[in-house]
A and B are shown apart, each in its own frame.
Chain A
Amino acid sequence: MSEGHAQALVAEQFDDVEQQRGATSLGMWVFLATEVLFFGGLFCGYTLYRGLYSSAFEAGSHLLKIKFGASYTVMLICSSLTMALGVRAAQLRRRKALLIFLIITILLGAAFVFIKLRYEWYGDYLEHLVPGIDFAPEGENLVVIQRFGAALPHVSLFMFLYFVMTGVHALHMIIGVGLLATLFILAWRGHFTGGHYEPVEISGLYWHFVDIVWIFLFPLLYLIGGRY
Chain B
Amino acid sequence: MTEHIVPKKIYILVFAILIAFTALTTAVAYTDLGPFNTVVALAIAVCKASLVVLFFMHMKYNPGMTRIVLAAAVGWLAILLALTLTDVSSRHWLPAPQGWESSAPSPRPR
Contact = CB atoms under 8 A, between A and B. Distances in A.
A and B physically associate: yes
A51 B45 contact: no
Nearest to A19: B1
B85 A223 contact: no
Contact of A228 (B31, B52, B65, B66): B31
Nearest to B3: A91
Interface size class of B (residues with CB under 8 A): 35 or more
Nearest to B32: A228
Nearest to B55: A84
A94 to B, nearest CB: 11
A11 interface: no
Contacts, number: 139
A88 B65 contact: no
A220 B22 CA distance: 13
A83 interface: yes
Contact of A223 (B37, B57, B72): B37
Given A44-B84, A81-B11, A215-B52, A33 B1 contact: no
Given A66-B29, A74-B19, A226-B32, A30 B69 contact: yes
B73 A33 contact: yes
A179 to B, nearest CB: 16
A87 B82 CA distance: 37
Given A33-B70, A43-B81, A212 B5 contact: no
B49 A212 contact: yes
B107 to A, nearest CB: 19
B78 to A, nearest CB: 9
Nearest to A223: B29
Interface string A26-43: 100110111011001101
B22 A73 contact: yes
A88 B26 contact: no
Contacts of B33: 226
A224 interface: yes
A73 to B, nearest CB: 5
Most chain B CB atoms below 10 A, which of A41, A43, A219, A225: A219
B26 A223 contact: yes
A64 to B, nearest CB: 11
A85 B25 contact: no
Interface in A169-228: 204-205, 208-209, 211-212, 215-216, 218-220, 222-228
Interface of B: 1, 3, 5-6, 8, 11-12, 14-15, 18-19, 22, 25-26, 28-33, 37-38, 41-42, 44-45, 48-49, 52-53, 55-57, 62, 65-66, 69-70, 72-74, 76-77, 80-81, 84-85, 88-89
19 contacts: A21-B1, A26-B65, A33-B73, A37-B76, A37-B77, A40-B77, A40-B80, A43-B81, A51-B85, A66-B26, A66-B29, A70-B26, A81-B14, A212-B53, A220-B42, A223-B25, A226-B32, A227-B30, A228-B31
